[in-house]
Amino acid sequence: MEFLIYLDVCCLNRPFDDQETQKRIRLETEAVLRILAIVQMGDWRLQGSETFDDELRKTPEGARKRQMQIWAALAMSKVDITQQIESRSRKLAQKGFKDYDALHIACAEAGKADVLLTTDDRMLRLAAKYKDLLQVRVENPLQWLREVTNDRCE
């Protein structure tokens, strides 16, 4: 099955987190890299956004940013911020989502992504709480990949 996937910036940061101290970080990294490999093979599609690009621009220069830019370039489509997206984002922020998280959700919704993947626990908790209000599924990349591939990823 083909999926249109929206990854937030924390997903692309995960491979640069400390892989040694927490098994969760290592497994989430493996999941993100596997998802990107499947996107690269053309089986799934990656969706980008103006919000993603703006957040990525704020990443300090260096090898991390260059690699994240390479991954971001895999996006087949890009959602530009409109007044409708800004309005939706403000409504989500009123529910407690951080500004960038609200914009990511609004962009993923507008772009008709099948799933927005994040490793941000706070965002995941809020998304679960308000799932009936969201027009996009918000999931952890490891949990989602396990579900769609019927794989334990361990």
Residue 23 is predicted with a pLDDT of 94
pLDDT tens track for 109-147: 999 999 999 999 999 999 999 999 999 999 999 999 999
pLDDT at 151 over 80: no
Average pLDDT over the chain, rounded to an integer:
94
User: Residue 46: what are its φ and ψ, rounded to 5°?
Assistant: -105, 135
pLDDT for the residue 74: 95
Lowest mean per-residue pLDDT among 17-21, 35-39, 134-138: 17-21
Write down the pTM of the prediction.
Answer: 0.94
- Residues 5 and 39: beta-carbon distance below 8 Å: yes
Mean pLDDT of 19-31: 94
pLDDT at 152: 52
Cβ-based burial of 34 (10 A; exposed 0-12, middle 13-18, buried ≥19): middle
pLDDT in tens, 58-72: 998 899 999 999 999
pLDDT at 28 over 90: yes
For residue 6, give both structure tokens: 């929206």
| pLDDT-derived band at 1, boundaries 50, 70, 90 | confident
CB-CB contact of 48 with 20 (8 Å): no
**Residue 153 in this model has a pLDDT that exceeds 80:** no
d(CA 153, CA 87): 38
DSSP 3-state of 101: helix
